[in-house]
Amino acid sequence: MAKEDLFVFSNMGTDNLNYINRRINIDLSMIKGKGRNSIRTITLRDICMQNEPITPELKAFLISIGSVSIDSSFIPRARGSTAGPGAGTGSVFFRAGEKRVRLSINKDSRLSILKVEGEGNVAIFHEGREIARGKLEPALAHCPEQAFITLCEKCIFDCKYCPVPKLQGHVKSEEEVLSIVDEVLKSGNLKAISLTSGVETSVEGEVERVLKLLPALKKYNVPIGVSVYPTAGCSRKFYEAGVSEVKYNVETMDCEIFKKVCGDLSLDYILDRLKEAVDAFGKNRVFSNLIIGLGESDSSVTEGIETLVKMRVIPILRPVNPHPLRVGDCFTERPSPERILKLAKIEAEMLRRYGLNPGLAKTMCLKCTGCDLVPFVDF
């Protein structure tokens, strides 16, 4: 193999991926007691020269950096993110074949997107070398092919990694929500409606906000997903009102970290609401974000994945998105590519064991797949 084909993941920091003239072994450990996969050396050929336009290795690398520099004239018209840890940031969605990745816009990123001739109209470059070719997708409402809408851009809680409490943004009226959905519908790309929300004054108020809105959304005849801080019994109400799927986020399954970063909330309470959601919606229709990069161990993540899948909840392993408004408020470190790959493979094995499939999702994050390495979709 030529020296220039050797591609190495470095653990030295978010953007510290280097081309160097040596190999690195990546330990893809599996679940406790199940042994290990064979040790692999990931090369540039693995990442860029297989039949799949975006391989799992390449997507893990792109997600680990999480950002890209791009000329503003290339960016399809889109609304900036107003949801969760990504609130207040601009992004682009890059697609190659059937695979998609979302990258925040950062002029100082070590990745760049440039126009190219031939197959695809843009390419991603790393330190001057092309590593992927494809196209940019329009995201009229947070992500492609969905009207993914944050109803309330305020929050009374103060999760330490999330900028929403600092931004204290806008609360949308029903008219504004329907206007956004209509805009996506007119584009010809409305395949789902997804609703999320902060908490303006009370969690009960946000559940009621969604329930009042749902009758007006039925006319669009597409699946509806809801992600809010839940109340007791709300899942049954959502289901009876025509919601297809729900996502209630545990954020982290490390109890000590949860107390530090989400001290206003209760992990046990969220787990109880997830159990109710599975009772109402059944398996493959209930999801929960599990943030990677808050200082948790891999064993903690593994145990958390197993707890959720045993409940028939599909975890979404979400790399933390350090935000400038929360610098110093808690530990955040974007996970390395090898860690993303390792944990995704652990999750895939557990999902397979319990008969769960993220590829069946109709709405929200698992339908988009841009931010995460999704088992049975990306590999």
Is residue 317's pLDDT more than 90? yes
Q: What does pTM read for this prediction?
A: 0.85
User: Across residues 54-64, what is the average pLDDT?
Assistant: 98
SS3 3: helix
Least-confidence region, from 13-27, 103-117, 179-193: 13-27
Is residue 70's pLDDT more than 80? yes
pLDDT at 274: 98
Q: Where are the beta strands (DSSP E) in 85-220?
A: 91-96, 99-105, 111-115, 122-126, 129-137, 146-150, 192-196
User: Across residues 291-302, what is the average pLDDT?
Assistant: 98
Q: Could you tell me which residues come within 8 angstroms of residue 154 by beta carbon, excluding any fewer than 6 positions away?
A: 164, 165, 168, 169, 171, 198, 199, 200
- Cα(353)–Cα(349) distance, rounded to whole angstroms? 6
Domains and CATH numbers, the chain: 146-368 (3.20.20.70)
How many degrees, rounded to 5, is the angle at CA 24 between CA 23 and CA 30?
A: 145
Residue pLDDT, tens place only, 148-205: 999 999 999 999 999 999 988 999 999 999 999 999 999 999 999 999 999 999 999 9
- Cα(145)–Cα(223) distance, rounded to whole angstroms? 12
pLDDT at 172: 97
Residue pLDDT, tens place only, 217-228: 999 999 999 999
Q: What is the DSSP letter of 31?
A: S
